[in-house]
Chain A
């Protein structure tokens, strides 16, 4: 039922305002907790000396999250988008972070596809998903890469979200994601595909969620889409990381114009070996 705020009695309006304020404070506090769970800039800088992070939650708390962990010479990086945004997404993101910590901690060898397989099992178990038609199809779309700093390789596995690699010489490579989520899908679970590429100094890697490309805006109120997004990244790639971030934000705000932000946005980019 919709209420006409201006038609409310002053007393009722006071109660309404008070409740809203309490709710906002509570969400604000939740967002501090969520931020505390995400790796801070110092950690990111240690693993990726040259990087940028564009993290724009749509609401106070976000369904997007990013996560990083180091095990011996391997650095594992995840950028993820949980079903929904706001509070439900944030809950799932906390589950995702917890499970990733557990899985990587227990794995003797880090294989990107195996981590995703295990993460899917954890999510299915936690959400009691059995593939029945009636159940909620909550899940996580993500891209995960494992960088071996000694062998200079990058392993990648993805659930719906691809990874872009722009080589030092300007070649643009897309590592495609599997078309299945971290969670239950209509079809029986299959193993995620493990991609592996060699990294060279100066190569740039981008992990992201779909918020940027799916944003409505522009002169016709259409989606930004992936092709212009790829072109934008390619165009910005010679720039410094700080400039890339600023340009991406500016481009987004310009595209969005007066439209509301549709979804959480996360883009993580880094330049290897610098």
Chain B
């Protein structure tokens, strides 16, 4: 997996860099003035990997940092990194189509952080799921509330029905009693008139009784129905009650946790502000107790959240008409599935295991020592002086403990001698400085044993290091700090590259600060050698640590307002270097000056000034492809408008040159400016020096559409306009396309014959124009 871009927010002086691409060939240089924020970029990337930040990283406006890194999956898709059984079907489709992964680490106010998979489609998926769930929960809560209103109404109705039933019962009892009494009276009545009256009374009460009986039946029925409805609701109500209780419990646990966090903050403040050790100790102890309780509270809150979610889903299902037991079963299954499925954070954490290891390369505390006990190395005693450098030395030499267990001293000495010459040869590939006139330095190590002068270690083996040249043999400490630094740096990088198969991103802050310019260029050589085994990102303001032929490796770092050290940090990609300040670009300008002196970049004759570095790259490649005998020195300006300035400089250096323009109309303004202020209307001189290639608006138009897609774009889609119009319309980086093309040509050994007729003819037209 390869780191291809980063996006940093709210980290020290950085507010938001936006996505910034790293160089495709694994070496990226951050250039900029002091205090511009270069180290913040490295720090942010390292914090992304490590997860921890210090207080000073936070911005004064308390906005929280977040760092995103984009990784190219190199012929894999995201789904290959996860257990597909733990993925939702829709998510599987999304992940199957993703050839890159974005990881974002966002920090909280307590400086803890959460890592998540931040590919746009993945985030959209999880956000949608969350919105759907929130909608269900809201709907369920509304239904619960409505149910409670209904239940209250039913309960009142039942009470009323019960009262009416009770009254009807009383009425019936009364009518029954009165009827019984009337019948007895009738039985006792002998006289005719009394009997008539009694019979009438019986009739009356019989009617009353019948009526009361009917009324009672109605009220009983009404009550029964009301009761039945209430009973029917009771199951649902108990589920809803449980849901409300779970919600209240969750709200309570959130409040408790918030209060507890506040308490920890206050205790932390009191501890830091304590005026004496006793008070300090007391606050510290209280703080520790509070912190120890925090985990339990967090666990409780998580449990409450789970219970709330369970009850809410259960209520949703029951209110939807599902039987209680069936609903419990369904919700339990859903909860289990949800637990089984990866969250966006799980995905982030899992992918993190596959990304390269980020290492922050600080200045070397461990320089190569004069000697070190073998025992200290074998026991990994890291506190011993020079342990790290010595260990690296042995690792690069391919030695382990077994090597030193060789009993036969003669064989051991011979092996050491062989190794010494091999290591020296490797080192000399990178360290090009001579000591004295022609003597190159050599590294040596020897295995010795302590003698009687060290009675406490007598007989124990130690390794002795030497840095030799033609004339003398000196201990490392007798050599300059620059030599020792470079040696340790070389060993550290080589050892890292050799130690593990895991890919690495090395973050290096100001490498070779104390080195001579030549040695700084040697640092670049080491980078070049290691770029296939690791990615290197380094900060520098040294021109000797920049390769002028590979300006696409540069990210310029500067403040938004040049004069204001407190303004935000901006990071500009190589295709936007024109927007960087002169001070930021000073290493590049310095470098061009240095190269002029070397006569490596500009020739005495046959120089052609071109619009930009892209024209420079393409033209050089075209000349090489065409096998031209005479390749002019193309000198890039930083845009059309800077061509007259460059022409003036060339004039000042008294070198012969021509100026090349692509396109028919877009160069008009610059040509006019040149005519007026450079050639002073001398048309003949202008004709001699200016080459205008009208057929192609930009160098990219030299390719036929098919070849542009195949060699430059390396993508298949329909292009119906000119190549340059397409690049502009799609907002593509011309720099990246140019470097892609150069890489493609180099790695595939592309020949002129590989291009189609149309491109070949265009290259011929172009080169003929240059020759003229």
Contacts and interface: CB of A to CB of B under 8 A. Distances in A.
A129 B706 contact: no
Given A117-B706, A191-B757, A184 B716 contact: yes
Nearest to A102: B720
A114 B709 CA distance: 16
A97 to B, nearest CB: 16
A124 B718 contact: yes
B705 interface: yes
Contacts of B717: 124-125, 128-131
Contacts of A120: 718
Interface in B735-759: 756-758
A143 B1 CA distance: 47
Interface in A90-122: 114, 117-118, 120-122
A124 B709 CA distance: 13
Interface string B693-729: 0000000000011100110000111111000000000
A188 interface: yes
B130 to A, nearest CB: 29
B710 A191 contact: no
Interface in B666-708: 704-706
A190 interface: yes
A191 B706 contact: yes
A189 interface: yes
Nearest to A120: B718
A123 interface: yes
A126 interface: yes
B718 A126 contact: yes
A122 B720 CA distance: 6
A189 B706 contact: yes
A197 to B, nearest CB: 19
A126 B719 CA distance: 10
B718 A125 contact: yes
Nearest to A128: B717
A122 B718 contact: yes
A189 B719 CA distance: 12
B705 A130 contact: no
A117 B705 CA distance: 9
B494 to A, nearest CB: 40
Interface in A178-227: 184, 188-191
Contact of B716 (A123, A126, A131): A131
Interface in B134-180: none
B707 to A, nearest CB: 9
A189 B758 contact: no
A121 B725 CA distance: 14
Contacts of B704: 117, 191
A188 B713 CA distance: 13
Given A191-B756, A191-B757, A191-B758, A130 B716 contact: yes
Contacts of A114: 758
Nearest to A111: B758
B95 to A, nearest CB: 15
A131 B710 CA distance: 12
A95 to B, nearest CB: 12
Nearest to A184: B716
Nearest to A126: B718
A30 to B, nearest CB: 26
Given A114-B758, A117-B705, A189 B720 contact: no
Contacts of B720: 118, 121-122, 125
Interface residues of A, number: 20
Contacts, number: 46
B697 to A, nearest CB: 16
A190 B718 CA distance: 13
A126 B705 CA distance: 16
Given A188-B710, A190-B706, A191-B706, A123 B757 contact: no
Contacts of A121: 705, 718-720
A120 B719 CA distance: 9
A129 B757 contact: no
A202 to B, nearest CB: 32
A120 B720 CA distance: 9
A214 B237 CA distance: 73
B756 A123 contact: no
Contacts of A122: 718, 720
A126 B757 CA distance: 26
A189 B714 CA distance: 12
Contacts of B705: 117-118, 121
Contact of B718 (A129, A188, A191): A129
B758 A125 contact: no
B393 to A, nearest CB: 49
Contacts of B718: 120-127, 129
A165 B178 CA distance: 125
Contacts of B715: 130
A55 B202 CA distance: 109
B716 to A, nearest CB: 4
Given A124-B717, A184-B716, A189 B756 contact: no
Interface string A13-39: 000000000000000000000000000
A181 to B, nearest CB: 13
Contacts of A129: 716-718
Nearest to B715: A130
B716 A124 contact: yes
A122 B710 CA distance: 17
A190 B705 CA distance: 10
Given A188-B710, A189-B706, A191-B758, A125 B719 contact: yes
Contacts of B758: 114, 191
B346 to A, nearest CB: 28
Q: Which of B705, B717, B720, B758 has the most CB of A within 10 A?
A: B720
Interface string A117-157: 11011111111111100000000000000000000000000
Contacts of A184: 716
Contacts of A123: 718
A75 B756 CA distance: 26
B725 to A, nearest CB: 13
Contacts of A124: 716-718
B717 to A, nearest CB: 5
A122 B718 CA distance: 6
B762 to A, nearest CB: 13
Nearest to B716: A131
A266 B718 CA distance: 28
B757 A189 contact: no
A127 B717 CA distance: 10
A118 B756 CA distance: 14
Nearest to A132: B716
Nearest to B709: A189
A125 B729 CA distance: 14
A54 B704 CA distance: 37
Interface in B620-645: none
Given A117-B705, A117-B706, A121-B705, A188 B716 contact: yes
A190 B706 CA distance: 7
Contacts of A190: 706, 756
B265 to A, nearest CB: 53
A253 B716 CA distance: 43
Interface in B575-604: none
Nearest to B757: A191
A125 B720 CA distance: 7
Nearest to B756: A191
28 contacts: A117-B704, A118-B705, A118-B720, A121-B705, A121-B718, A121-B719, A121-B720, A122-B718, A122-B720, A123-B718, A124-B716, A124-B717, A125-B717, A125-B718, A125-B719, A125-B720, A126-B718, A127-B718, A129-B716, A131-B717, A188-B710, A188-B716, A189-B709, A189-B710, A189-B716, A190-B706, A191-B704, A191-B758
| 6 nearest A-B pairs in the assembled complex, by CB-CB distance | A125-B718, A124-B718, A131-B716, A121-B718, A191-B756, A130-B717
Given A131-B717, A189-B710, 13 more contacts: A117-B704, A118-B705, A120-B718, A121-B720, A122-B718, A124-B717, A125-B719, A126-B718, A129-B716, A131-B716, A188-B710, A191-B706, A191-B756
